[in-house]
Structures are given as C-alpha cells and as structure tokens.
Structure 1
Amino acid sequence: MTTTASVAAWLGSNDEPDSTFHPLREIEPDGPDAVPALRRLLADLDALGAPSMLTDAKLALEKSSEINQQAASRQNAAIQRITEARQRAALADDTIAALEAMAAEQRDAEPWLPVQPGQDSPLMSEARRLSRASVQRAVMLAGGKGDLIYRKLQEFAADAVDQVGAAPLPEKVWVTPEPAALVMRSEHAESWTTLLMQGDRFMRLHEAADLTRRLGGLLSELPGAAPRLAFQYRAWLTAQQQFEELRTVARPLRLRWAIDHGWQPGLWRPDQINGNGDPTPTPLTIGARLKHAVGGA
C-alpha cells in the first residue's frame, strides 16, 4: 500500500493503520520516481484549487516532455528518410545519381541517425540529457516551494475538518444501517454532500502533503514513538486504540467520527506533535515560535 492508502485512507478502508515510524525516502531529482511523483502532486494541487503554486515546475516538466517528443520525431524522420533513399536507389534507372542523392540525405540526417541499431543518435542522446536536466529543474523548483505548499495544504486540511465538524447530522445517524438515506431524507441533506466532498478532499490533500514532504526534503523526524499517521491525527495514540471502532462506521462518516472522538484530524508538522500520543501540542522551540509568528501553521 502507498503511504496515503495506509494512513489517510483509513477513513475509506478497513485496512489496518500504518503504525510504523521510520522516515520516508526522499525523492531524488534524477530518480525514476521523480516525474510520476511530481505529476501526481501537480494533479492534486490542481484538484485542490491551487494549481498556480507550481506553475514554474509544471512548465519545466512540460519542456522535458516536449524535448523528448520532438527529438524522437526527428530521429524517426531521419531513419525514414534514409530508408526511402535506399529504396529509391535500388529501383532507380540511374543508380549512381540515386546513390549520390542518398549520400546527401545521409549527410543531412547523420546527427539524428543511431550509430548502432537500437542505440540513440548523437543528437537524441543530447536531447535526453537536456530533458533530464529539465526534469531535475522541475523537481528542484517544486522542492524549493515545499514549505509554502505544505502550509497551504494545512489551511485546506483545517478547512475540511471545520466543514465536516460543523455539518449538522440527525442524532440517529450513528446507529442506522443506512446513514446516507437517513441524512438525505432529513432537513440536513446537504450535510451528506459535505461529508463526501470534504472526506475526499482530506485524503487528496494528504497525498499531496506526502509528496511535498518527499519532494521538498521536509522529512523531519517525528518525535518519540509517533508513527506517520501523526501527520493526519495529532492524537495518534487514541486513533490507533480506537481503530476497531472506526471500522464499524460508514466510510463517509469516518472523518466526522474521528473529529468527535478527539483524534484531532488535520495536517500537522513534527513540531505540533507529541511523541507520546498526547493530543496536547508540544511546547514550541524558540525557532518554531519564530516560524509560527511569521505566518506558520
């Protein structure tokens, strides 16, 4: 399971919570998972309504794809030109003239022709190098904005929790076997839509937060024995202890249930988490106080 599936998706599955506390691996700018991770983050930010936060990284990533596509097209065209020239020479009445024409085609196309079958041409190799450099730039641009993005995601998380926590629900919603039908027939029908939309939003923003931590080098060590789910639930020990009860709750109601049972859902930073699972925030260091004083979460 992915980190998101094993932690945030508790609200949508019956899988056991991920109680591990080992750090995640940072995504390297030139690593094989850099592009997929950045594309997922861009998609998440777009869905969350914050696409402009990584416009420069998106442009650099698009530039990389453009280089690859254009280079592949030029190399294929060069190979096709030489193939056709050879076919014409084989069928020409004036074979020598046709061979001379083929040689001219060869000279023009040579930079795009593979030295050996199955290998890249010299220009294709250079194009791939420039494409990789563009990917590295995109990842570094995203990483450089990691802290800013994380703070915005914290705002989204707080808003999602506020909306779910404030949604009025019928008293019997926790005991009925058909909570959706009960809520939709009540005077609070709009609350069910809120639960669905904000629950999905909560899960998506945590996927984005996980990617941001890995791309942005924000893999700060969690305090004490705190597992990764502490990023989602500040009262993480309570969350672990009550997980079996959560499994009995209808999925759209799980975030609300977590709120009502004191899990303190949100998106937290390590300096906002207690290593012993106490939901009371840890005392901030002088550095953390300064960070919060200038606009931190």
Structure 2
Amino acid sequence: MKILLTGASGHVVTLGLRGLAGRHDLRLTDLRPPGLLPKGAEFRACDLLKADDDTLSQLFSGIDAVIHGAYLHSSAQNDVYGLLPPQIDRFDTELENIRIAQRIYRHAYDAGVRRVVMVSSNHAADWYEHAQVHRRQRELVFPGDYPLSDNFYGWAKASYELLGFPYACGTFGRRMEIVSLRIGSPYPIDSARFATAMEAPQTSLPKPQGLAGFKRALGAFLSEGDCAELFRAAAEAPRIEGDHGVPWLVAYGISDNTRAFWSLQSAREKLGYAPTDDSEILYAEEISRMLVDNSQTGRLG
C-alpha cells in the first residue's frame, strides 16, 4: 500500500511507523523531517492547517491509507518557554486540531483514500478514568462507552473520532474506513518519579500521583514494539467492521498489561492487534520494590 503518515517527526508516529517500514510505500509529512527517514520513504514538509488545497491534493495523490498523527500542542499558545496555558484557555488550539482533522478527512475522501487511521488518545473518554476507575467504581473502560472528557484536549480527540463517522457511513457518496486509535502511554515508566511523588486526594488531580500513579502507568503502558504492531494492524486489517455495518471503529492502544483498565477487545478482534509486552513483566523489579517491599505507602488506585 501507499501510506501517508502525518506528524512524522512526532514521538508516537516515529514508534508506529516501524511496523510499516519495509512493508509498504511510505510518504511522510510534518513541519520538519523526522530524525531518521525509513529506507525508501518519501518526506514532504507541509503545514496541514495553512497549506492551500492544491498542495494538500498533491500530498494525498495516489494514497491508499492515511495515518494522521499530526498535532498542534497547546504550548504553542505561549511564547514564554513553551509553558502550557490553563486548561480553560486551550480551546482555540484544540479547535485548530479539529480543523486539521477535517482537512485530512476531506482530502482523503476526495483523493479516493480507502482508510483513515486517526491517532486519537485515551483522553477521548478520560472522565471515566478520572472519576470512576481510580475510585474503584469501574474496572474497565470500553471503546463503545460514550466519549466523555473533562478537558479540551480529550474533547478534541473525541471530536476527531465523531467527525469521521459521516465519512464512514456514506453520507457523501462513498464509505471511507475510519479507525481511531486511543493511544495509552507510549513512554518508559520511570518508577523513581512516582517513588518521590506526593500522594494527593483523588478529587484534586485528574491523574493519581505517587504509588497510585505508578499503578496507573503500568496499566496505560504501550511499548515501542506494540505501538509498531498497533500501526501495522490498523493499516493492514483486511476490512473495518464497526457497528451496524458502518466501517467506523474505535480501539484502545496499550500493551498486554496485567493492570490494564482500558479494553483491547476491538483492537484484538477487529484489527488483529497482537501485543506481546506486559508492563507487569517488563517492570517486575520496580513493582517488587514499590508494591511488595512496602517501600511506599498510599492507596493503590
């Protein structure tokens, strides 16, 4: 396949494209080139928000599938050391991210692209985690749960997902397959950071700190290898089968973690995603030190 990946210099896409390099013809785009361009891949610099339609049409020409990982960070609103603005002031940047997502969908549709894979986030439905999982009122969050977020970042990610539904159900003339990957935490777990963090009341922070935060990190972990496998599965699944015959699917993206609190059911069954890593094994020594040896105190989340 000829696959276009946006946000090619970003962390998640950098990890994910390893599952596609050498298997498909790749075209990468971002504001700047990635640190390492896979052999045979093509790079085209592009500002997806400001580029004219002709430029985008050329970018999408001949493409079979798109993986959209480009993202405008809210720190861009502040020109002082890249500091994040308060949550309530992040709406405008997230609205621009939604506009970019619409340009991706529309140009993919016009170019005859078969499938668009959106790099979404667990934050699209993070209210369940913040309000229920860590309070032990819920064990798992499922892809089919109504998307509820308590912040503009998650709201924008949920909007990406829902924005794709009209393109998938055929309203505009043809059905385009839409997959949204709710990425977990694709970063190594620094147990030392949690060992020194102060415990805080669960009502005051969206994510737990200290020992409870360490347990949360174990559940949300996505290894480099599994991120690559997730991208491969999302691109190569023979077909996308959503509810009611609409090729629109939401899938969580984490490793095969013992402490997972997001369901991988749709990723496994609909995409053929086969994660091989488990944070419980990869971080066994840290778990023993922090949870078994009682070197830390506090609620486990």
How high is the TM-score relative to the length of structure 1? 0.22
If asked which structure has higher relative contact order (CA below 8 Å, sep 6+), I would say: 1
Larger radius of gyration: 1
- Of Structure 1 and Structure 2, which has the larger fraction of its residues in strand? 2
TM-score normalised over the length of structure 2:
0.22
